[in-house]
Amino acid sequence: MTASGSHGERDTTTVSYLRQRPPPVGVPKPKSEFDAVYPCDFYAPEELLADDQMYTVYEIARLLQDLDPDAALEPAEEEILLDWAIPWVIDHADQLVIAEPPTDADPGFYGLRTNEDAPTESAANPATNGASEPDADADS
């Protein structure tokens, strides 16, 4: 079904997007088929980020590939880099801080967590959006 609700018509936006994606790789291959294999090393946050700067995930994606944070990329290249950067951010979340984007249309900003970035009492639990935890003794 297309956005207009009719059956039988193809959504050309989705079809076009799917054509841009590389085909699946297939079955695993023996290591012996490769000329060389290398360690899968990634930067630690303190190796990649300056402690007085905040970065978008797009900039982090470039930095992970030793590119300038503002390097121009084709959309397909940027998508591949984001496939690496997003899990890196998630994996290192305990070493990072996040700031709200300037507008709803902008990405958030991430930075290296430092001692000066200790959360305030009201922001200690982002899952509660700053609300205080219920007092365990209040129920007794």
Report the pLDDT value the prediction gives residue 22, as an integer from 0 to 100. Answer: 62
d(CA 91, CA 84): 11
Judged against a pLDDT cut of 80, whether residue 32 lies above it is answered with yes
What does each C-alpha distance from 120 to 69, 123, 126 come to in angstroms? 30, 5, 11
Report the pLDDT value the prediction gives residue 117, as an integer from 0 to 100. Answer: 85
Q: pLDDT for 50-94, tens place per residue?
A: 999 999 999 999 999 999 999 999 999 999 999 999 999 999 999
Contact in structure between 120 and 97 (CB atoms under 8 Å): no
Report the pLDDT value the prediction gives residue 27, as an integer from 0 to 100. Answer: 84
Structure tokens at 34: 């490769």
Q: What does DSSP assign to residue 3?
A: T
Q: Grade residue 118 by pLDDT with cuts at 50, 70 and 90.
A: low
